[in-house]
Structure 1
Amino acid sequence: MAGRRRQRRRRRGRQRAAQQPHNGSITKRKETPCQQDNQGDKRLKYSEPDLPEHMWWHIHSLLPLRDAARVACVSRVFLRSWRCHPNLIFITETLGLEPNAGRQRDRTRAFTSIVNHILKNHSGNGIKTLNLQLYDYPDINPCDLNNWLQNAIKPWIEEITLGCIDCKYIKMYNFPCSLLFGENGRSLRYLDIHGCAFRPTVGLRLRSLRQLCLYYVCITGDELWCLLTNSFALKELELSGCSEIICLKVPPLEQLSHLNVFSCKMLQMIEMTDSNISTFNFIGSLPQFSVGQLSKVKDLDMECSNKSNFLFNAITRLPCVAPNVESLVLFSISEMVDTPMVAAKFLHLKYLDITLSDANFSPEYDYLSLVHFLDACPVLETFILSILQERMKHVSVFGDASLPMRQMTEHKKHKSLKHVMMLGFCSAKSLVELTCCILEKATSLECITLDTINNWYSDESGIINRCSDTSNTRKCLPIGRKMILEAHRALLAIERYIVGKVPSAVRLDVLRPCTRCHTV
């Protein structure tokens, strides 16, 4: 017995000696419980590279949450770092959970247990990122969510993402804005909230906030104005599905340059007085704009679901509303009248992208009238026309042979136009006429691409490919038999009416149906 006591004392002495710093050493040599041999109770010798502890902490902070937790089991340096880990990413995948394994109640219990355990062992210091994705847990307890936010939102937090959209019990969860008051919100730069109520009050000042994203959030226009007026560093604002906003008032924030508004169904008016917004993306019912309201916008992308003849309204109104736009993307689902000739000009427009969908598209619409849009853009360099249709409704160029091809002799030359792309090119007579007109009027044209199937993807170099043209196993999206047959008619139209009119200095690229996916 005495011999065993002496052996135990010697082992304890060696353990204490191993934990003491060596002379001239910058860092300590560490041993963890994982290094202990349970059977022989022997120690494995292990030494970490000679680095300052703050460097180890930085390395640890770069690891994904699950890996950071694992290495904390084998190093005391990482264990201390784990208790101050800056990035808390609570997502099903990062926590090693299966989204559809077992019963819903068991999955939620497992998720709650892991998050509670991590936050319980976290010191609360140094948290910079909090990402809580609750899409897979509709029965999460709001009290647990309140506790998580309270434990994680501290003065040094920089990013908050909360996703609880479509959650059965917390879809109207009221985000506790009081947690962001004072010191807690001073460093916040990114706020992304999904599927809950967000009710900011006058006292909330997020002076460091750079990006604000609200998706399906219950917030009124006045509440949003209250928040924006005190967010002096804000650069990007994104609103999606915020159905309580009727009038969106954007204060003249000096750094706010990007505004994205998507599917806010009650929105009727947007006011942007003296704003510096240069990029504006909009999807939804067309709101009211005043003359010059978008005067500083250079990149404009609009899709209006409630407006018939959107192209007609765009060419007649937008030159006055957004006179300095340089890139314009328009999506129309209902063109019943032709695009008119106008006196107003897009004097700075260099890039024009128009998409026409046949959802409520009139077969009487004249594609050739789009030349009026080109006439209104004297410095246009790139023109893209995309046609989405399940069947070709227009009169084919192979229809009545007695109808001659129309000429647009009265139109001016398009001296700056260099690149033209038509996706979903078909045998519609007016579309063939538009193509011939561009070939005749665009004196600086370098390349024209005619894609007979509006179903494509681009590779890393930006070149459009069919899946049959590469070794990629990815397949093209399915297309109906009628449009595959129409694509072959379009190829015949190109060969018969267009190829002979292409100047020698212009490259013509014709994209045929995929030989693997688009067979009849």
Structure 2
Amino acid sequence: MRREQSQSPCLTDAEPDIISFLPGHVIDHILSLLPIREAVRTSVLASKWRYKWATLPNLVFDNQCVSVTSEDHLVIKKKLLRVIDHVLLLHSGSINKFKLSHRDLIAVTDIDRWILHVCRRSVKELVLEVWKGQRYLIHSCIFSCQSLNHLELFNCWLKPPSTFKGFRNLKSLDLQHVTLTQDVFENLISRCPLLERLTLMNFDGFSHLNISAPKLQFFDIGGKFDDISFENTFQLAVVSIGLYVSFENNERLLGGASNLLKFFVHLPCVKRLEVQSYFLKYLTIGFVPEKLPRPCIDLTYLSIRMNFYDVKEISGALCLLRSSPNLQELEILTRSEEPNVLLAQPYCWEDFYLNFPVMQLRHVRIDGVSDFKAELDFISFLLLYSPVLERMTVKPINLELGLMKELMKELMRFKRASARAELIFLES
């Protein structure tokens, strides 16, 4: 009688190929999480993966897209060029996002070639960060790419052709370390009818910021400029402005006009405002009113960097507080400067208290306190006129341990309108 030979199940049943049977949307998600170099390498995993990377909608070429070894920069740059050329040559899907951000110097001709290619493919998001070398003169093809809804440029020079009519679909514009003329800037902003977000940092070539954008909701700027004005920006809700250069108030040249009034006339819906660096000094040029003609009803967060040696800056900050009846969060950042002659006479807080409305502040942070009387008077004022205050955080600057303890004791003795107000003292 012939004995039947038993066979192990592992010899007859092949293990299922999990990688090959992953759903397409799962493969797409995995590839989207990988650097482009690793995504291309997945083509060897299985036949189903072979050309999947070639349809990736987001192409990001940064320091992770080439292997970092002990090789010199020239070798790394050659690898980068090969990777980008290879991917763009074989890519067969739509390109939603193209980002180039590499620390090595890249030839202008190569950047021009890649930008031209993705613009022809109707790219929607374009991010170009040129970290080394002179500012890159933007290829003219960008200005005819009407598919763009997000444009982000770093270390670039914008010089659109005379035929440029704007970006009709652009919603987000981020310009940092850029060069462009006054006319180019104004035309660029005004000819983007759907623009919702604008970031502008460290620019040159113009000094007057005239912002006209009916859909604008977010505006963040930091740099050196002489003047700023808004027109038709009634939807603007989040504003952060930093003026990086100090100047002497010259009311005679301005005819006594109030920068505070001019600044807020087209900002009726602002919800979050950050007044950074020396911008409060700019706002207090000219007449400083007790309050704005139209209150900032929607403003719930306010951050101000101010000089407590300048009575006009104090008046400007108080004007903003008086004009923000629904303000809930306040941040004060002190700016240390030499004592200003404007503060030769102490600020008359007693008179000021008589007609100041009760505030709705819940959270307050004051950073950079130096035991200066005007700063302490300001803190005392906030505690007295904030009946729903929950937390005030105070952080001193450059104080010895003994002085810090004395300051802490003095702050704890201040009267508070809110029984729930917690006073938190942070060491510098």
TM-score of the pair, normalised by structure 2: 0.74
Matching residue of 1:507: 421
Q: Which has the larger radius of gyration?
A: 1
The structure showing larger relative contact order (alpha-carbon pairs under 8 Å, at least 6 residues apart) is 2
From the superposition, tell whether residues 77 and 389 of structure 1 become closer, same or farther in structure 2 (CA, over 3 Å): same
2:216 is the counterpart of 1:256 = yes
Instruction: Give distance in 1, aligned partners of 2:391 and 2:205.
Output: 45
Partner SS for 1:95: coil
Contact preservation (8 Å) 2:302, 2:327: no
Matches of 1:209 and 1:371, distance apart in 2: 35
Taking the aligned partners of 1:357 and 1:343, their CA distance within structure 2 comes to 18
Aligned to 1:187: 147
Structure 2 partner of 1:173: 136
Do structure 1's residue 494 and structure 2's residue 408 form an aligned pair?
Answer: no
Q: Show the 5 A alignment for 1:319-358.
A: 322=267, 325-331=270-276, 333=278, 342=290, 344-345=292-293, 347-349=295-297, 350-351=299-300, 353-356=302-305
Please say if 1:277 is aligned against 2:236.
yes
Alignment partner of 2:396: what SS?
coil
Structure 1 equivalent of residue 124 of structure 2: 158
- Between the aligned residues of both structures, percent identity stands at 14
* Counterpart contact for 1:221–1:247, Cα < 8 Å: yes
**What SS does the corresponding residue of 1:217 show, helix, strand or coil?**
strand
Among 68, 77, 92, which residue is 1:108 paired with? 77
How many matched pairs? 397
**SS state of the match for residue 232, structure 1?**
coil
Could you tell me which residue of structure 2 aligns to residue 34 of structure 1? none
1:141 corresponds to 2:107: yes
Q: Distance in 2 between matches of 1:126 and 1:317?
A: 46
User: Given the alignment, which residue of 218, 236, 245 partners 2:179?
Assistant: 218
Distance 2:137 2:249 in 1: 38
Long gaps (5+) in structure 1: 1-42, 286-303, 395-402, 455-479
RMSD: 4.2
Take 1:208 and 1:343, find their aligned partners in 2: how far apart are those partners?
A: 39
Which residue does the alignment assign to 1:376? 322
Distance 2:352 2:180 in 1: 54
CA distance in 1, matches of 2:193, 2:349: 56
Question: SS in structure 2 opposite 1:434?
Answer: helix
Q: What's the CA shift for 1:365?
A: 5.3
1:292: which partner in 2?
none
Letter in 1 for 2:100: L
How far the C-alpha of 1:424 sits from its partner, in A, is 3.5
More strand by percentage: 2
Report the CA distance between 1:315 and its aligned residue. Answer: 5.6
Query: In structure 1, what is the Cα distance between the partners aligned to 2:42 and 2:60?
Result: 17
8 Å Cα contact 1:252/1:272 also seen in 2: yes
CA distance in 1, matches of 2:237, 2:181: 24
TM normalised by structure 1 equals: 0.63
Gaps of 5+ in 2: 1-13, 252-256, 341-345
The answer to whether the 8 Å contact 1:325/1:348 transfers is: yes
| Matching residue within 122, 131, 154 for 2:99 | 131
Task: Kindly report which structure 2 residues correspond to 1:188-203, keeping only aligned pairs within 5 A, or say none.
Answer: 188-201=148-161, 202-203=163-164
Instruction: Give the structure 1 partner of residue 170 of structure 2.
Output: 209
Shift in Å, 1:491: 0.9
SS in 2 for 1:280: strand
Give me the whole-angstrom Cα distance separating, in 2, the residues matched to 1:373 and 1:251: 26
Q: Counterpart of 1:502 in 2: which secondary structure?
A: coil
Task: Check conservation: 2:151, 2:172, Cα contact below 8 A.
Answer: yes
Offset at residue 158 of structure 1 (A): 1.7
Q: Is the 8 A contact 1:128 1:158 kept in 2?
A: yes
Give 2:194's aligned residue. Answer: 233
